Chains A and B, each alone.
Chain A
Amino acid sequence: MSFFSDATLARFEREAAKYPAEQRQSAVMACLSIIQQEQGHVSQAAEVALAAVLGMAPIAVHEVTTFYNMYNQQPVGRYKLNVCTNLPCQLREGQTALDHVCKRLGVEPYGSTTDGVFTVQPSECLGACADAPVMLVNDREMLSFMREERLDELLAMCAAEAATATAKSGQ
């Protein structure tokens, strides 16, 4: 049995089709991000399996996973929250937003809550500076103007969703 489902393999092929047939390696970044979206992080087993799909050496995949900041090499919380603290954001409460989230969740930067619901990371420029403070959720959704009340509302929504999901899976 293949490591990846047919649906996942189809997603990989859609990416690989963008490049010349002899350059399938070009799709590695997109495929790794698909893996992360589906599995939460990029495991070594996934790297090896992807290497086979794209016809590249496993170490070459690993080099990519480790070079780019957004790949999770370890499991992260159900919600990975990245808060930009670079200078333009720092001037508009970016650091304050990070501090607030950490305090509310009782974690240090880069830490996860013990229930596995949240991981909080400071990050470099997300490319949304005029919306500061900004936060990227699970690599794919950019949230803007995240001052304290909105942060609190967000954290409550995420926690409630996680609780519902746990209750459902427990049934």
Chain B
Amino acid sequence: MSTLDLSKFKATGLETCFHGRHIEPQIYAGLNGANWHLQDYVARGGYVALRRILTGLLPDGTQGEPMTPEQLIAEVKASGLRGRGGAGFPTGLKWSFMPRALPVQKYLVCNSDEGEPGTCKDRDILMFNPHAVIEGMAIAAYAMGISVGYNYIHGEIFEVYERFEAALEEARAAGFLGNNILGSSHSFQLHAHHGFGAYICGEETALLESLEGKKGQPRFKPPFPASFGLYGKPTTINNTETFAAVPWIIRHGGEAYLKVGKPNNGGTKIFSMVGDVERPGNYEVPMGTPFSTLLELAGGVKGGRKLKAVIPGGSSAPVLPAHLMMACTMDYDSIAKAGSMLGSGAVIVMDETRCMVKSLLRLSYFYQHESCGQCTPCREGTGWLWRMVQRIEHGEGRPEDLAMLDNVAENIMGRTICALGDAAAMPVRAMLKHFRDEFAYHIEHKTCQVSVPA
């Protein structure tokens, strides 16, 4: 085994997280890379929320009443917090589905399998503020009467997994995890689990299969995990950022959280700005921030070039041309209205020199590579899409290919077990909708329309 010290090649977080260009940050506030430890988190007001709900001790030292699970869920509902994993499902509502009083083992799972191309926000949360996730999970566990939890971490970010394990040790030693937390009747055991390179394991039921030590192949929904989850037991799954938002909500109240964002879109959201921007990185801003502001935070389009298109929610989201994107605010509703989705929060920016055929080709390759193969429309369809786009990119496209692409994509959608099929089809359809000319040009002229090849 090699013992080479590669630390000089590693990111410090300066470019992506401690650049000071967030707006009203909650999760990334006050971080510098060195202050991820429990004592630093406590100094930032950490674990106050957990103490408050379990013991009634308020931040100013006065003694109040502990919070009941019902009050907690009501607070999360009032906050307008929606799932940060991509689908934007209301978190409080999801928590209320949990059969809290059922006398069986129930599980809490954190989805840190962040593998949606473009997304790296959860990595920075877990690396630089892991206790926010631990506290959020401990609170959620109390709200739903859960005593065991797992955090499933993307296998490729192994150092983040090790960091999270170290943070777990600190939390256990300080009595924030384990039996009878802070002297209350709430016990919660939390463990870290790592993946090993399979995009599909980010899908919640594939993740559960993987956690059970199997191939990560999605299950049919319903039943949703709330009724049949890990080891067949009631399970609640949320994204890393969703859990990390919870302590702030309890400390400041659901209403305050809602006010930070806009109606139906509470709080802040972390966006991974990637691709053709001057300063790629993670930016935490209030929901509803104009896209133009976000783009400015990231230093604008690289090299002062013109914006051509944006994929606003990770590679599975439909692409939007510049003029539509520039009119959006960054929240679930605005982006959905423009015909795309907020998704995982990855914002893939493409400038005027980018060829859309080439871009789609790389995405289509990805989806056929990551299809788990269970459903015929997905397994066969993703390969078909990829081969057709490849043909077009290499000057061998046929005039009928455009209609066929649309047709294959349409026939995948809604006919598969999980949303990966849709994720493969949606980018194709959106590219054809907004950049059809470019595809047609490729077919007719057997070459690229864009002057500077990407």
Using a CB–CB cutoff of 8 Å, the interface residues on chain A facing chain B are 18-20, 23, 25-30, 32-33, 37-38, 54, 56, 60, 63-64, 67-71, 78-79, 82, 85-88, 90-92, 123-132, 136-146, 150, 154, 157-158, 161-162, 165
Is A27 a contact of B213 with CB atoms below 8 Å? yes
Residue of A nearest to B11 (CB): A144
Q: Determine the chain B residues whose CB is within 8 A of the CB of A161 once the complex forms.
A: 2-4
Is B120 a contact of A143 with CB atoms below 8 Å? no
Among A28, A54, A125, A144, the residue within 8 A (CB) of B117 is A125
Bits for B269-293, please: 1 = Cβ < 8 Å to A, else 0: 0001111100011100000000000
Among B156, B197, B211, B280, the residue within 8 A (CB) of A142 is B156
Q: Determine the chain A residues whose CB is within 8 A of the CB of B275 once the complex forms.
A: 87-88, 91-92
Stretch in contact with the other chain, from B84-92, B361-369, B401-409: B361-369
Question: Can you list 13 A-B contacts (CB < 8 A)?
Answer: A29-B194, A29-B195, A33-B194, A67-B215, A69-B198, A70-B155, A92-B274, A125-B115, A127-B119, A129-B119, A138-B2, A141-B6, A144-B11
Cβ of B216 within 8 Å of any chain A Cβ, yes or no, is yes
Is B155 a contact of A33 with CB atoms below 8 Å? yes
Stretch in contact with the other chain, from B179-187, B252-260, B321-329, B346-354: B346-354
Q: Determine the chain A residues whose CB is within 8 A of the CB of B370 once the complex forms.
A: 124
Tally B residues with Cβ within 8 Å of A: 64
Using a CB–CB cutoff of 8 Å, the interface residues on chain B facing chain A are 1-4, 6, 9-11, 15-16, 105, 114-120, 122-123, 150, 154-159, 191-199, 210-216, 231, 272-276, 280-282, 315, 346, 348, 350, 354, 359, 362-363, 366, 369-370, 454
Q: How far is the CA of A158 from the CA of B192 in the complex (A)?
A: 31
Q: How far is the CA of A38 from the CA of B2 in the complex (A)?
A: 11
Known: A91-B275, A91-B350. A154 touches B9 (CB 8 A): yes
Q: How far is the CA of A136 from the CA of B11 in the complex (A)?
A: 12
Is B123 a contact of A127 with CB atoms below 8 Å? yes
Is A88 a contact of B155 with CB atoms below 8 Å? no
